[in-house]
Amino acid sequence: MASVQTECMPQVGFKLRDQPFGSSLSIPFDSIRISGLHNRAHGRDNRDAAFWANTLVASVDGQRYLAKLYTPGCGGEKAFEHDLDRLMKAKGSNLPRVFAYSNDATTPCIVFSASRIIPFHAYPAELLRASPGTALQDTWQLLIDMKASSQCILNAVEGMIRNYPTLPTGVLCDALAKASVDDRGSIVLTPEIDGRPFDCAQEVEELVKTAWAEFFRAGKYRPLRALGYALTGNAYAVLGKSPREFETPASALEYLQQFWVPPSRRYLSWPSNSKGFFEPGDIGVFEMQIGKGQVFRKLSSVAAELGGVVTKISAGDFVEVQPGVQRATCLPMSEDDRTSSVMMSWSTTLSHSKTEWHWLCENATRLATDHGVPPVDLVLLTKTNHGLSVRSLETLRRRIRKPIYFYVHIDETGSASELYWTFKDSPLCSEEIRKLASNPDLAGLPLPAPEMYFGDKPYPARYLQLESADL
């Protein structure tokens, strides 16, 4: 195989010789792994695969590159031609750069000039490990590069959108959400056309904000939260000024702070992997634990200082029949009513929710001193979500001749303290509930019993956490 001299002139007809892993494409890991990956590639339909699926690290003339294999027989040939055509026409953009390609019918292949691609959502972690002092500015600059790349792609697809009105409008926003960073630290966007809808007339800055502002507000990348707040507050100002214009990280941070969203919009989403029986008003800290990741350690509860907890029913088939008692009715099966399930969802918040931010600002130092933690590490849980559903009611409804009632008793903390079903159209008293719990047959309900699922542990939804500038 002739050596490739330049990235500007990709080698046409790049050959793989006898087999995909022949001497022209050597893979630096053991043959068993190669064989397994290749078999899995042949079992996939390329029309539905993510763009970077089935990529391998290849060696061409002694240099490492990424190679993307296409599966013949299940859309691979068309996917290969489609990707290659778009990539070759997109010179100068931040789409993946083609180094070489193979039009061998047995295994079509594209070789890219990058030796490594890492998803953008994982790249800030590398920056924080390698250079924590400049990670904020480096990430900020990558977002600016992403904006420039987005404009190039928007210009490229503008004709397609105009000529094909039915083309999915998620082209650019989805490309931003799937952005990657190559081995040179440059933004690389995927050429896939799919994803969530967006308005093609929307400004590119707004698209970058939609794709990444909430991500940088998450606790996982706490040192970059200032960027997320500012991007949410004024994406145009953030993406219109390069961080390279600032002499120090402190001056760059000061610039971002003037665009932070107001306190009423500074609520943060609870980490999905940090679960437990927590309630609004709980004060604690997030900690990293081996094998568990980020977990919440409760220090105390300040719910009483913020007026206690308020419960709000947000949706469902239950109605309140007594204070704190919700009821759903299950009727015998009929032609007009074939309901198979009933559900309810509710949330709990702090009574003084309008002042909880200011309360935290005024009391963070005191609480931090009491518990021996930095004030900026304190977390105030402000909202929990709850859910309940009763499923598989069809068989039960065919066996009954009169209504069955499902009851949920919600206590002062917003939790479902009691959950039962009965033929009685009024709630049971505490003694009746106790007897029913010890002997369910007392209810006299026909089998099979319906499946009842409910959140015995309320799911934390949002929290507040201060930054140094707030203290």
Residue 93 binned pLDDT confidence (cut-offs 50, 70, 90):
low
User: What does the DSSP assignment read for 167-184?
Assistant: S-TTHHHHHHHT-EEETT
Identify the pLDDT of residue 273: 75
pLDDT, the chain, mean:
76
CA distance linking residue 373 with residue 238, whole number of Å: 32
* Of 227 and 391, more confident: 227
Tell me how far CA of residue 143 lies from CA of 102, 120, 228, 307, 358, in angstroms. Answer: 33, 10, 11, 42, 32
* Of 193 and 69, more confident: 69
The Cα angle at residue 114 between residues 108 and 119, in degrees rounded to 5: 100
Query: With 60 as the cut, is the pLDDT of residue 346 above it?
Result: yes
| This prediction's pTM | 0.74
Helices (H), 164-224: 171-177, 204-217
Encode pLDDT of 15-55 as tens digits.
333 333 332 333 322 221 222 232 233 333 343 447 777 67
* Of 227 and 433, more confident: 227
**Are the C-beta atoms of residues 463 and 379 closer than 8 Å to each other?**
yes
Give φ, ψ of 125 to 5 degrees.
-60, -40
Residue 445 binned pLDDT confidence (cut-offs 50, 70, 90):
low
Query: With 90 as the cut, is the pLDDT of residue 387 above it?
Result: no
SS3 468: helix
Query: With 50 as the cut, is the pLDDT of residue 169 above it?
Result: no
Residue 77 binned pLDDT confidence (cut-offs 50, 70, 90):
confident
SS3 79: helix
Burial label for 244, CB within 10 Å (0-12, 13-18, 19+), is exposed
Identify the pLDDT of residue 183: 87
**Are the C-beta atoms of residues 145 and 137 closer than 8 Å to each other?**
no
Query: With 50 as the cut, is the pLDDT of residue 196 above it?
Result: no
**From the CB of residue 288, how many other CB atoms can be counted at a distance below 10 Å?**
8
**Which element (helix H / strand E) includes 344?**
strand 342-350
Average pLDDT over every residue of 363-371: 96
Give the position of tokens 């026909």.
446
Spatial CA neighbour of 381 closest among 262, 307, 238, 281? 281
Encode pLDDT of 104-162 as tens digits.
656 777 888 888 888 888 898 899 999 998 999 999 999 998 888 776 666 655 554 45
